């Protein structure tokens, strides 16, 4: 069971109080009418699925019922930080899968 820090409640809460809600930092196109089908389709349906550092949207479903962002390592399940919507993550990194591929080339 993970303990997740809710940035609104300001304390660690049990994982069962939360729901994951997909990838974070997806800006809605400012002018949807001028989007091509490809651009709109990418916005609507296509999501990253990285191995390693991933920024996700979570909701404190049974607590304050607010959305916030989580930086999580998808390999280890480690939650590196949580931060409010509108803030920028402190922890960013190249997806591990890319780093490994580069290492593999040099070996």
Binding span for other proteins by CB under 8 A among 8-16, 47-55, 69-77, 96-104: 8-16
**What x/- string results for residues 58 through 87 when contact with other proteins is judged by CB under 8 A?**
---xxxxxx---------------------
Joined together, the tokens standing for residue 57 give 């949207």
Query: Binder to other proteins among 11, 31, 33, 103 (CB under 8 A)?
Result: 11
* Interacting residues of 42 by C-beta distance below 8 A, sequence separation 6+: none
Exposed e or buried b per residue across 59-76, where buried means at least 16 C-beta atoms within 10 angstroms of its C-beta: bbeeebeebbbbbbbbee
The residues that touch other proteins, with contacts defined as CB under 8 A, are 8-11, 13-14, 16-17, 61-66
């Amino acid at each position: 069971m993970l303990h997740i820090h809710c940035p609104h409640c300001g304390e660690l809460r049990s994982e069962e109080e939360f729901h994951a809600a997909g990838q974070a930092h997806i800006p809605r196109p400012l002018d949807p009418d001028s989007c091509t089908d490809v651009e709109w389709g990418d916005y609507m349906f296509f999501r990253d699925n990285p191995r390693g550092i991933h920024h996700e949207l979570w909701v404190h479903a049974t607590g304050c019922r607010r959305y916030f962002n989580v930086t999580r390592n998808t390999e280890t399940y480690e939650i590196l930080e949580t931060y409010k919507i509108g803030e920028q993550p402190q922890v960013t990194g190249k997806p591990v899968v890319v780093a490994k591929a580069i290492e593999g080339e040099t070996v």
